[in-house]
Structure 1
């Protein structure tokens, strides 16, 4: 296996310096030259013929009689390294299939520079695993590098084909604007329907004799009590009733029906896409957030603090400081004070409804988890190898770790997670033992019934907390893809529009003035090309919805 180092990157950068000087573009430029594209396309067609010949078996094991080695690139967070390659399931697949894997593991902190070099040089591995490597725009702008996979799925991937038939969202998610599939999806096992949920300091509530808030008015009263009545008991007015990330108000806007899971300001309302920063719901929500801010109920450093400052507040050594927030799980951020916090149900909005950010089909779906490059001389072998990941047992072993190592398979057909080694957190152990969030997977809803998780920690705790919000999860704007022309336009439009929305939001939350300035704000957005931006979103939405 290979771990690509920073020194390797410097050598490649040096060797490609002349290419950069001559003006070769790295991403969009690779695809904007039609003659280069056509040449690459012809080359792709020439390479599409199998070089495995009689060595290859279309079904059964081994996949090939004589070993075939594939160079497989994957990106890992930080310094996670390659311990996942010791996963027994992966090693057994190598042995049984005769497909040997030369893992090329790159740290996410080093990847941006290496990605540019790789795309510019055209020297690609056979396979890319995990969506950290290449995003939608990377692929759309460099289609000549990646093989269309539709025929391979049809001929050599019965597991994935069956998964797509059972769960059509997998195909919709993976189909690019030209109607072809260039990357393979994943459905992770036992994931919640809810994203971040409201979290409150239960100890503070109990001390003040308050119940968990259910409505906006009740939330206001609770936050006011948190500010004024010294619930942490240290005799100081240091309590911060509500504190969150820099986009604090986005989470606070959930009770107004604004649940922006894609971070593109699009929601689905009455079955149709809507750009919410020009909606009446947004206007009302920002006015409400300003009321809280002006009374000191929202962290006054919300729009200026960095993550280090926020973490220091959440984990202040002397006393808990924060009363209310939105989090995945309380234990994730509050350190020694974690046990004081509990997740509560979504806050009811002014229309009497609850809205929860999330996915009605589960926070399980990923795309761009497998890419087969045109450099790969054994695409049918690779397709058969990748297809082995699309079973329930394979998926859980590539999410938590191998059966017998991290997972126990019980006599009744259920699966339970083993305890991690002493001194190791469960989550860190899973990342060390498996591909975890990355790579091909498909755990069907039926298979998930056999997975038994501890409801007091980790993934099991998130599922337990999910019961509070999953019935209120809204239908989000789907995870659409854009054409090469749309990707060319989006940055120009988004740079000014997004900056203006963020600056006005910060101003209105901290200083007010939304009513007086609203019409001018909407006009300026329109002058910036908002109609064109919305059309791009709507066109992409319509393409997605029409995929069968």
Structure 2
């Protein structure tokens, strides 16, 4: 039975009373018949205990280790509607994470999970927002973005006071890492969403991955330059690289609904945030789809396409079809790609693949996409409390339980005792995944992984011990190949409501045109002949206005960071 909050609809009165220092609504006071029978003395005791727990949590030497209070958040069982999204067909297995079960038992709060696939979330999201009815709590930055929140701000609560009053773990985290508050504070000064800072992140995003067995079969060395890579890829196409007697079944490069933009890394193109913006070494901004090095990179891809090196189905097949080629049962079929680790792409054939240092480009330099300063590991929109929530104070306190070190690692990898071992010396190690399962796939199955609130302090990070041969430990090991060549990523800036609305319109038309033109040029050429008309069409679609919005938001971000 859902317990309602009672008079929380009179939010303005509650705000006034809280500002005056009068505690009027205990976390346990969900409304309905049961809350109506709660005595005033019990309410006062509950408020006092909650306030003391918050105070204690803030004064503890914040090792960020575990929640300082395991007190129930409600005297009687309550439910909380939680909406989140998952990639593809991942499903809701993560909801059986033992930490989440323990959280339910300790807080007396039972989540009512609504798990949506991101495959069709765009359509479902539009329907949900149009209805004006949202679940009480939203998890994951892929669920609602800045534009969704700002253009529907009446559906989302300002969390500023809730953080101050009911989220001591998050408050302590924001004091230790001020970038958290900077990241989640919108231009109107309000906080509509909560952040996350992931543990144990590699600096380089993706590495070049090549089939070393194919190289050995053909007597070739690992390529280091763009010309050497081209030569190797041609050999993969023309010869029986996988050794099965068939010279026509190799795909040196393949893609799904397009090609990975990482293929243009040797030309100085990196795009960590997927908005086509780059920050040059002098701090200036560049929209790279109109840059000369982008043009040269597409010419190279067209050369590969004409040679049959790029799978002709790369622009039409979906991710499932690509995965089937990467993990073909009888023999490896794909020769080169970009990835965190080989096992994240190639399954049973992953042992055949090796990571390379960034390929040296035509200018003699190496480039890698990544985040050398860890700024991009801090992300907003990982949790929102909606105006549909019947007890925002309880929801905030429940979410605050996610902001401890132990909670965060269990919601990033999996539960202690299943995925994680807690050692006698106070450190934590990751267990090996089940046979035949990649570490990444296991983590996603066992946890919220990238999505949802979490924070690991620098002190707690020292307690995490990762193997350098698998999973995130391997990512950090392979990252060393590219760490020295990381370009500066466009930061996680915040837009005004007006800018956000304009971007939603501008990027829809501009991105669609850029992607369709890229596919045409890679497949059929004609880049030089069509370049000027392409740039002119982008300007007609509002390119200059879009770049100005990015520039204004970037300048605000830099000014705020000083």
Same structural fold, with TM-score higher than 0.5 when normalized by the shorter chain: yes
1:326 aligns to 2:338 (yes or no): yes
Q: 2:268 aligns with which of 249, 257, 260?
A: 257
Decide whether the 8 Å contact of 1:249 with 1:286 is kept in 2: no
Equivalent in the alignment of 1:74:
83
- Compared CA separation, residues 263 and 422, structure 1 to 2 (3 A): closer
- Give the stretch that moved more between structures: 107-116 or 176-185: 107-116
Shift of 1:516: 2.9
Decide whether the 8 Å contact of 2:204 with 2:482 is kept in 1: yes
- Give the stretch that moved more between structures: 520-529 or 244-253: 244-253
1:104 aligns to 2:78 (yes or no): no
User: Which whole-Å CA distance do the structure 1 matches of 2:74 and 2:528 have between them?
Assistant: 73
Q: 2:211 aligns with which of 192, 201, 217?
A: 201
User: Which whole-Å CA distance do the structure 2 matches of 1:431 and 1:213 have between them?
Assistant: 33
Which runs of 5 or more residues in structure 1 are unaligned? Answer: 3-41
- Compared CA separation, residues 483 and 99, structure 1 to 2 (3 A): farther
Decide whether the 8 Å contact of 2:74 with 2:108 is kept in 1: no
- Compared CA separation, residues 454 and 168, structure 1 to 2 (3 A): same
What whole-Å deviation, never above 9, does each CA across 1:377-427 have from its counterpart, x for those lacking one? 543443333223212112112222332343221122210123456787655
Shift of 1:475: 1.6
* Aligned-partner SS, 2:380: strand
Decide whether the 8 Å contact of 1:188 with 1:442 is kept in 2: yes
* Aligned-partner SS, 2:209: strand
Decide whether the 8 Å contact of 1:201 with 1:324 is kept in 2: yes
TM-score (norm 1): 0.83
- Give the stretch that moved more between structures: 453-462 or 192-201: 453-462
User: Which whole-Å CA distance do the structure 2 matches of 1:113 and 1:324 have between them?
Assistant: 34
User: Which whole-Å CA distance do the structure 1 matches of 2:306 and 2:269 have between them?
Assistant: 22
Equivalent in the alignment of 2:163:
153
Decide whether the 8 Å contact of 1:244 with 1:326 is kept in 2: no
Shift of 1:431: 4.1
- Compared CA separation, residues 354 and 43, structure 1 to 2 (3 A): farther
Shift of 1:262: 2.0
Shift of 1:428: 5.2
Equivalent in the alignment of 1:266:
277
- Compared CA separation, residues 282 and 207, structure 1 to 2 (3 A): same
- Compared CA separation, residues 126 and 196, structure 1 to 2 (3 A): same
What whole-Å deviation, never above 9, does each CA across 1:92-147 have from its counterpart, x for those lacking one? 44555x45234333333686666556545544444323334322222112212222
Q: 1:177 aligns with which of 170, 187, 197?
A: 187
Equivalent in the alignment of 1:541:
554
- Give the stretch that moved more between structures: 349-358 or 123-132: 123-132
Residue-pair matches, total:
509
Equivalent in the alignment of 2:515:
502
Q: 1:314 aligns with which of 308, 320, 326?
A: 326
User: Which residues of 2 match residues 516-535 of structure 1 at below 5 A?
Assistant: 516-535=529-548
Equivalent in the alignment of 1:361:
373
- Compared CA separation, residues 443 and 305, structure 1 to 2 (3 A): same
Q: 2:421 aligns with which of 408, 413, 419?
A: 408
Shift of 1:267: 1.0
Equivalent in the alignment of 2:253:
242
Shift of 1:295: 2.7
User: Which whole-Å CA distance do the structure 2 matches of 1:434 and 1:117 have between them?
Assistant: 28
Equivalent in the alignment of 1:393:
406
- Give the stretch that moved more between structures: 462-471 or 301-310: 301-310
Equivalent in the alignment of 2:25:
51
Q: 1:352 aligns with which of 360, 364, 375?
A: 364
Equivalent in the alignment of 1:167:
177
User: Which whole-Å CA distance do the structure 2 matches of 1:536 and 1:181 have between them?
Assistant: 21
Q: 2:228 aligns with which of 194, 215, 218?
A: 218
- Give the stretch that moved more between structures: 141-150 or 306-315: 306-315
Decide whether the 8 Å contact of 1:70 with 1:126 is kept in 2: no
Shift of 1:189: 2.0
Decide whether the 8 Å contact of 2:206 with 2:369 is kept in 1: yes
Equivalent in the alignment of 2:289:
277
User: Which whole-Å CA distance do the structure 2 matches of 1:142 and 1:426 have between them?
Assistant: 38
Equivalent in the alignment of 1:449:
462
* Aligned-partner SS, 1:333: helix
Equivalent in the alignment of 1:340:
352
Supply the RMSD in Å over aligned alpha carbons. 3.1
Decide whether the 8 Å contact of 1:81 with 1:105 is kept in 2: no
Decide whether the 8 Å contact of 1:200 with 1:342 is kept in 2: yes
- Compared CA separation, residues 249 and 376, structure 1 to 2 (3 A): closer
User: Which whole-Å CA distance do the structure 2 matches of 1:476 and 1:139 have between them?
Assistant: 24
1:489 aligns to 2:502 (yes or no): yes
Shift of 1:258: 0.8
Equivalent in the alignment of 1:462:
475
Shift of 1:257: 1.3
- Compared CA separation, residues 375 and 528, structure 1 to 2 (3 A): closer
User: Which whole-Å CA distance do the structure 2 matches of 1:513 and 1:139 have between them?
Assistant: 41
Equivalent in the alignment of 2:152:
142
Which runs of 5 or more residues in structure 2 are unaligned? Answer: 3-8, 19-23, 27-42, 54-68
- Compared CA separation, residues 177 and 229, structure 1 to 2 (3 A): same
